[in-house]
Structure 1
Amino acid sequence: MHRHAKVLLIAVASAMLAACATDKMRSKETVLTDTLRTYAATLRWGTVENAQAFIDPKVLAERPPTPLELARFRQVQITGYNEQPAIPVGENEVQQVVEIGLVNVNTQAARSVIDRQTWRYDEAGKRWWLMTGLPDITQSQ
């Protein structure tokens, strides 16, 4: 009977460890899903200044948007945000391709741009950071 108790104890402990690992991954995935959804909403309905809060602080310090880039964002209305599923490219990194629909508020000309995003998970902060900066809305299709 003692031997069966040890086997049962090991099995229960293994199951608990697996559940903890699953909860940790689920939590990280949930944070990613929430971050991507909130970034999309912020880019579409918020301001470019608010969208900058998703960019990794080091990236933002090294490559801050220029005043011209920020002015260009104020000249367009984002009309669509069609994302592909995020694809893991490492333990703490995903990539996502997004087609962003734009309308120039002055000319009413519509177009779209492709934004290739890289997101990195910060273990210490328990959050995802955008590593590729704001989308390049000057590209032509």
Structure 2
Amino acid sequence: MRRILIAVATAFLLAGCATAQRKDALTSTLNTYAATLRWGSFQSALQFVDPKVLQTNPPSSLDMARYQQMRVSDYDDGAGPVAVTDNEVQQVVQLHLINIHTQSERTVIDRQTWRYDEEKKRWWLTSGLPDVTHD
């Protein structure tokens, strides 16, 4: 009986550790993605997009040209991510974009979906890069 209790307690502890690691990985990924958009580029942000999404729906050269015209002046993730399942979260981000040619600013709402990859132990953006052509 004692062995069973120890086994059950160990299973709960390991599950708790896995959940904490997943949550820490999510926080790190979301912070790095936000910083990449703020200080880097949309081209660099492609490294966060799920490879399966990129394979089936890659951004066009026109999309990438549009991204090159934009700079993020503010990235507001509001309430942060909301868990849909253990391996999926969603968050709504308000992006303030400045067109580098006209210096005009506008706001775009980016509805993000992130999926945890158990095998690679990382989070992937499955919703793709934000659509900067719509307000």
TM over 0.5: yes
- 5+ residue gaps, structure 2, are none
* Alpha-carbon displacement from aligned partner over 1:58-107 (angstroms, at most 9, x marks no partner): 10011111111111111111001100311111221111100001111111
1:16 equivalenced with 2:15 (yes/no) = no
Give, in angstroms, the shift of residue 13 of structure 1.
4.0
Structure 1: give runs of 5+ residues left out of the alignment.
Answer: 1-5
Question: What does residue 81 of structure 2 align with?
Answer: 86
What is the TM-score of this pair, normalised by structure 2?
Answer: 0.92
Q: For each residue in 1:102-133, what CA deviation from the matched residue of structure 2 results, as whole angstroms up to 9, or x when unmatched?
A: 11111111111000001111111111110011
Query: 1:36 is matched with which residue: 25, 30, 33?
Result: 30
Distance 2:41 2:87 in 1: 28
Residue identity over aligned pairs, in percent, reads 49
Greater Cα offset, 103-112 or 113-122: 103-112
The structure having more radius of gyration, on CA atoms, is 1
Aligned residues between the structures:
134
What is the CA distance between 1:19 and its match in structure 2?
1.5
Corresponding residue for 1:114? 109
The alpha carbon displacement at 1:20 in A equals: 1.2
Deviates more, 1:102-111 or 1:112-121: 102-111
Query: More displaced, 52-61 or 13-22?
Result: 13-22
CA RMSD in angstroms, aligned pairs only: 1.4
- Which residues of 2 match residues 96-107 of structure 1 at below 5 A? 96-107=91-102
Secondary structure at 1:50 match in 2: helix
Letter of the 2:98 partner, please give it. Answer: V
- Partners of 1:121 and 1:70 lie apart in 2 by 26
